[in-house]
């Protein structure tokens, strides 16, 4: 959808928030509920063409509706509930039609890696102001569409990276010793004591593709086991320990005994490991993928393992992952499933890299705190798709103070027009920043009463550059 249509849709349909700020309390032990008197209001289309009275309705913190999908951890649920928000919690993701029904109603949605928030879904989300990805990856969200429509997106950039790194260490040893096969054989009643093609990992080379939060932690753990580490990354990065960056993916594939992928899903990383890359790997080497299912071409992996080029593999991520637990391989999408499952020395796990108690608990806290700060104070620190804007502690709890949040198109002349509107008032502090096509302005003003706030809101909304206006008071 173009920016122009965005504006017209917003003017006609979007509900914008003018919510009472309640201050931020992220501790479940010290809830900050609104009181009946601490109301604000939400308006729809409070612009020149639509009278505010037609669209005004009561608004309070208890009116904030949050939908949490995919079994978001209790820590996050507690923090959000402690704010007095209405929290609906589901253990699974939702199919698109049900997601569209539910998302129409909510101001905040919390998801993990399975829920696809595409432009098609988001255009139905008329009340949505913020998305929390309770995970690292944000490839499941159309970040640009969200930003262009004033919807901030937060994630947890590193809370599960240690969990993933530890899983990979376990898999390296398991593959080198064919543990999966020996265990399966024993479960089937067969004693098969072999040393042929079973190895120590000491002295072997680990090749890490993507030396970010996970890749770099893994590097340290692998060296502690006596492995040599090489890594390939599109950014020049200092290696930890004695690890070395190599210039090309081909360099890495030619040196590594174990190759492990830790890149985000991007157009350039889709099928980054395919037939050509398997040919460049050492004969008898191993492949691990716990990044995204699109990064490795599975039919090419099957071929490489059948030919003996690749001696083992561990996959934690797949194309077309299911919404919840249950049957997976019996569907028409994964035509390679039976071939994959029939291979020897292949570890198949259901996307559990970040699934530890420690990681999920930390993610729940981190992302829900960011959501509360955004809803209550408009703070965008850590946002993935918006400029990061913060102002020192709020004074908007005071009766005649308000915080203006104006998300707008990043085009010349907007600040002048906004400041013409704000200039009649006492602007205590103000900050603005931009990211790509979107800019975010935050201003704290004092000596304003409720009618003035409504007037400010209408005037800001009437500017052609506006994406979303929120006034917290
Ligand atoms: N299996 C799981 O449960 C699980 C858990 C966490 C993260 N993940 C996945 O792992 C990915 C990596 O996580 P992270 O926290 O290390 O991310 P990160 O952003 O910290 O690091 C990614 C690294 O990849 C590099 N990179 C990007 N494009 C590249 C390319 N084309 N070639 C080489 N390097 C490239 C980046 O420069 C960066 O250094 C996440 O994006 C997510 O998709 C999976
Ligand atoms: O992006 C991530 O953090 C991982 O892929 C884990 O995703 P999950 O929270 O859906 O398990």
Rg (CA), the chain: 26
Q: Where are the domains of the chain?
A: 11-157+359-399, 161-348
356-396 tens-digit pLDDT: 999 999 999 999 999 999 999 999 999 999 999 999 766 65
Q: Whose CA is nearest to atom 18 of ligand 1?
A: 212
CA 316 to ligand 1: nearest atom:
1
- Give 39's contacts (C-beta < 8 A, 6+ positions apart): 20, 58, 59, 60
DSSP letters for 205-265: EEEEE--SHHHHHHHHHHHHTT-EEEEE-SS--PPSTT-EE-S-HHHHHHH-SEEEE----
* Closest residue by Cα to residue 238 from 257, 260, 254, 215: 215
Report d(CA 253, CA 12) in Å as an integer.
55
Q: Is any atom of ligand 1 closer than 6 Å to the C-beta of 94?
A: no
- Asked if the model's pLDDT at residue 450 lies above 90, the reply is no
Whether 198 and 176 have beta carbons less than 8 Å apart is answered as yes
What is the predicted pLDDT for the residue at 41? 31
Best probe residue, ligand 1, of 169, 214, 351 (max atoms within 8 Å of C-beta):
214
d(CA 308, CA 443) in angstroms, rounded, equals 63
- Ligand 2 centroid – CA 276 distance (Å): 28
CA 2 to ligand 2 centroid distance, Å: 31
Interface pTM (ipTM) of the complex? Answer: 0.99
How far apart CA 443 and CA 419 sit, in angstroms, is 10
Ligand at shortest distance from the CA of 156: 2
**What are the pLDDT digits (tens) for 122-154?**
999 999 999 999 999 999 999 999 999 999 999
Probe residue for ligand 1, chosen from 170, 235, 262 as the CB with the greatest number of ligand atoms within 8 Å: 262
**Ligand nearest to C-alpha 161:** 1
**Nearest ligand to residue 289 Cα:** 1
How many residues are present in the chain?
473
Confidence of residue 220 (pLDDT cuts 50, 70, 90): very high
The average pLDDT across 226-237 equals 98
Distance 158 CA to ligand 2 centre (A): 11
Q: Helix-strand-coil percent breakdown of the chain, rounded to 5? A: 35, 20, 45
Residue in 112, 135, 136 to alter for ligand 1 test, most ligand atoms within 8 A of Cβ? 136
CATH class of the 11-157+359-399 domain in this structure: alpha beta
CATH topology of 11-157+359-399 equal to that of 161-348?
yes
Quick one: pLDDT at residue 392? Answer: 78
The structure tokens listed for 13 are: 């349909």
Centroid of ligand 2 to alpha carbon of 273 (angstroms)? 21
What residues line ligand 2, using a CB cutoff of 6 Å?
Answer: 112-114, 135-137, 160, 351, 353-355
- 231 close to ligand 1 (CB < 6 Angstrom): no
Residue 353 CB less than 6 A away from ligand 1: yes
Enter the pTM of the model. Answer: 0.88
Q: How far apart are CA 164 and CA 82, in angstroms?
A: 30
Specify the CATH architecture of the domain 161-348.
3-Layer(aba) Sandwich (3.40)
Catalytic positions: 292, 321, 351
Atom nearest to 266 CA in ligand 1: 28
């Amino acid at each position: 959808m173009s920016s122009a249509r965005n504006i017209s849709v917003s003017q006609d349909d979007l509900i914008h928030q003018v919510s009472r700020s309640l201050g931020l309390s992220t501790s479940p032990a010290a809830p900050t509920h609104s009181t009946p008197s601490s109301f604000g209001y939400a308006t729809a289309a409070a612009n020149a063409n639509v009278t505010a009275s037609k669209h005004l309705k009561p608004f309070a913190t208890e009116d904030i509706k949050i939908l949490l999908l995919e079994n978001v951890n209790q820590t996050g649920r507690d923090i959000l509930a402690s704010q007095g928000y209405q929290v609906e919690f589901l253990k699974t993701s939702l199919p698109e039609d049900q997601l569209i029904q539910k998302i129409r109603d909510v101001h905040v949605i919390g998801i993990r890696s399975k829920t696809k928030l595409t432009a098609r879904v988001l255009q139905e989300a008329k009340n949505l102001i913020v998305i929390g990805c309770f995970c690292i990856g944000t490839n499941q969200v159309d970040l640009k569409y969200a930003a262009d429509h004033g919807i901030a997106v937060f994630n947890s950039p590193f809370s599960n990276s240690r969990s993933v790194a530890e899983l990979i260490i376990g898999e390296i040893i398991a593959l080198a010793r064919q543990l999966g096969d020996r265990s399966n054989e024993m479960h089937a009643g067969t004693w098969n004591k072999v040393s042929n093609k079973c190895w120590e990992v000491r002295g072997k080379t680990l090749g890490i593709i993507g030396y970010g939060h996970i890749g770099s932690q893994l590097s340290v753990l692998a060296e502690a086991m006596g492995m040599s580490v090489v890594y390939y990354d599109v950014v020049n990065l200092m290696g930890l320990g004695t690890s070395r960056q190599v210039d090309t993916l081909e360099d890495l594939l030619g040196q590594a005994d174990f190759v492990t992928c830790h890149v985000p899903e991007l157009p350039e990383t889709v099928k980054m490991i395919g037939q050509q890359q398997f040919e460049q790997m050492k004969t008898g080497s191993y492949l691990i993928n716990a990044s995204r299912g699109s990064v490795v071409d599975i039919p090419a992996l099957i071929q490489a393992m059948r030919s003996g080029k690749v001696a083992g593999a561990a996959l934690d991520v797949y194309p077309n992952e299911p919404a919840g637990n249950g049957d997976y391989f019996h569907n028409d999408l994964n035509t390679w499933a039976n071939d994959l499952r029939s291979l020897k020395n292949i570890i198949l796990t259901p996307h559990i890299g970040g699934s530890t108690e420690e990681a999920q608990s930390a993610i729940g806290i981190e992302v829900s705190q960011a959501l509360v700060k955004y809803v209550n104070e408009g703070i965008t620190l850590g946002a993935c798709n918006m400029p990061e804007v913060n102002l020192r502690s709020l004074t908007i709890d005071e009766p005649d103070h308000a915080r203006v949040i104006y998300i707008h198109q990043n085009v010349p002349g907007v600040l002048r027009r906004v400041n013409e509107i704000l200039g009649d008032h006492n602007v205590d502090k103000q900050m603005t920043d931009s990211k790509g096509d979107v800019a975010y302005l935050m201003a704290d003003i004092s000596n304003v009463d409720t009618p003035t706030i409504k007037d400010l809101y209408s005037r800001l909304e009437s500017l052609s550059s506006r994406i979303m206006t929120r006034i917290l008071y």
